[in-house]
Structure 1
């Protein structure tokens, strides 16, 4: 290395050290402000009733971060950094206990970390029913549940649980599903004789597996994380799982992004016990019960068209009542506090057998 190069690098490194010091000071300054927010909320709302996590506020902050970003860092990477900063600061106010369908290392766990950041307390549970129950009882502050996949469709069990439990949808996020073929460090591709995965992952990677591992034994397990755990202790074995499982079980990727459809994405919902304010770019979800009669679906959808409200999802499920009733799960743009949405909800409530407002919440930012 030449003297001039050393001098040039030395100057840049001094600038980086100086910037790092400023960033550090500002981070602690932000953390002190977060502590002040907590003190104000506790003073005016009371310790028991104070609400520390505000989904609409965080969505607004992340949107502004991306809007003002000038590069060279990509918008979403900058927002991801701020997501972690907010997670750490929120933990100073109140550590969030977040329930999800376990075990650790699944895509749902990855979704929980993406939405709440690494400072949230993870609470893996054994069933979706338990996730709903823990949140409704207040044993967990929030829950993360899958609602639909771009290739597999709606998670019908999640929809059915919304009929049984009284919870609010507080947010949503979308997670690209990238499958990796994982194995112990030092494993060669030719060493793999057994592959573990959840049945859906086998289905989503079937073409790739047929091309690269037609002779390998495919063993179905309850979750990809379980497959990764087994592969971590078994020579000649591999597992299909995500990066979070690789980190958790110290596995290396023999092949990355082996899913047959590269745009495979799962949408998750955030469950809570609070109403969420207007963020400026929101969705609302409802359940509608209607009798099976001619024109029933048209009568439910017509008010949305008349008030210019865009539907983003509609799913039909069998109802539990008499008269061959059906339950419609509907997502649409807008917030329940907005006048146009309020008018639609009034008309639907007057015309349907039953309307259940599941919540209004910010549209996915990350």
Structure 2
């Protein structure tokens, strides 16, 4: 979760089935500062006219922030409220980790998390995942009055990321926010007994908001793999018949927070972790605690957040060029 017991991307995931031609003109190399303002947990989507829209956690006076770019390098923060109203299920507070996909009928679906009016075991944190619809990627998004997933008895649900598979089936990934009901220590989950923080995969109907069947666990924390007290912020992308699941681990407010990935030949796994920091503090000058990454469906670019400076008071948006080949991911 990119905000501990108050909140922790798709990852945000993006680009449902926009042709890969959108990826080919992209020439930027390495990672770079994309937006110099507080814009955590960026999800993003591209459109057929060549524009890109990024969506960030609550900040700068907005429940859902939106930024725009024509080249994926230069970004502008829009004075637009992405979620002008809230759903009947939620409190008007703590909106985090928005992610947007375009479904088959052309409408845009936003996944986000917020505090539910229904309170779980932890009175201070009761996040659920909600959905909202729009006709344009920049909104406005109209929320549905029923949450998509809550899991309040397990700590709540956060960090939803949409994904559309090669056969057109819709899915959403999310984190069960177990550390919100942990027993203290790092990320509120450093004291035994440790609480599970699994990444779940939920199949959806064609409307991309209605669950089909039960969710499947695809990942969880494991100290033997070098993970911290949690895993979170999933982002799934398919390249050359390999599923790449990006995720963050350790604590968002510590320099050890990083982004990793796991791979599988089937969408439901099993996923094999690479057990190394794909993005980590110090990879580029002034990069601190990179996480909340979203990788585009075209497989050649990503957005993520890192602390804007050493004060670690705000998280800026960063971009990077990515290569996904032969089960290996790399910044290029």
TM bucket normalised to smaller: under 0.3
Bigger radius of gyration: 1
Q: So what's the TM-score if we normalise by structure 2?
A: 0.24
More helix, by proportion = 1
Q: So what's the TM-score if we normalise by structure 1?
A: 0.22
